[in-house]
Amino acid sequence: MSAIIKFQDVEKYYGDFHALHDINLKINAGETVVLIGPSGSGKSTLLRTINGLEDIQKGKLVVDGMDISSKDTNVNKLRTDVGMVFQHFNLYNNKTILENIMLAPQIVLKRPKDKNREIADELLAKVDLSNQGGKYPAQLSGGQKQRIAIARSLAMDPRVLLFDEPTSALDPEMVGSVLNVMRDIAMNSDMTTLVVTHEMDFAKAVADRVIFMADGKILEDSSTDEFFKRPKTERARQFLSQVEHH
C-alpha cells in the first residue's frame, strides 16, 4: 500500500508549549483512520497540520506527494486535494445551500456550471437533503448544516477528507444523521478519511485503524478490533473505561 500521508519525526510548538512530540505516522490511500484521546492530546492539531492550517517546526510531512514542510509547497493546491470538515460549519450565510456547495468548484476547479450543478444535486441527495438547495444556512438545523458542510467538501473531489470533531457542537439528536453520512463515505468511497471524534461506536463501525493520542504523542496505532479489545497502554485502558461507561 502506498502512504498518501507520511509524518516523519514531526514536532509542533505553540511558543513554549510542545503540542506534537515526535510524530511518525503513515496513512495509506483509501484508509479510514480515527484519532481518539483525551481533550488537549493534540488530535486536532495533528489533523490541521495535514492541510497546512498549522505549521510544523521540525520533521517532515508529505501529503499526496507534497512536502508540507517545504516553503515551496502550493498550499492552495494542497487544500484542493485535502478537504476538511470543522466543528462549526463555516457556511456562507448570505448564499443558498446550492451556492455554498458550488462556489469552490466553480472558482478553484473552473468546473462548468451545468456539471457543477449536477454534482451539487447528487451530493445533496447523498447527504439526504435534496429538497434544501434553495434555502439559506440560517434555515437549517445544526445537523443539516454539518451535512451540507460535508457535501461542500466532497464537491471538490478531494483525495483526503479530514473531519475535526464534526459532531461535537451538535445536539445529541442531530449526531446520528451526520455520522450516517460519514459512515457512507468511509464505507463506499476510495477516499482517505481521518476523523477526530469522541464517538466510539462510530470508530468501531468504520475505522480501519485507531490512533490513540495523549499529551501530544501517539501512544497506540492499531487495528480497530485490536485497540478496543486489547489496548496496549494503561493510558488507553483508562481512557476507554471512562468513555465507554458514559
pLDDT tens string 58-116: 999 999 999 988 888 888 888 889 999 988 888 999 999 999 999 999 999 999 999 99
- Among the four given CATH numbers 3.40.50.300, 2.40.50.100, 2.40.10.10, 3.30.460.80, the one describing domain 3-38+52-197+219-243: 3.40.50.300
Answer whether residue 244 shows pLDDT above 80. Answer: no
Question: Is the four-CA dihedral 15, 221, 199, 128 of positive or negative sign?
Answer: positive
Task: Identify whether the C-beta of residue 49 lies closer than 8 Å to the C-beta of residue 68.
Answer: yes
The model carries a pTM of 0.94
Residue with cell 470543522: 86
Residue type, 189: S
At 16, list the grid cell: 513554549
Domain boundaries, the chain: 3-38+52-197+219-243
215-239 per-position pLDDT tens digit: 999 999 999 999 999 999 999 999 9
pLDDT of residue 243: 84
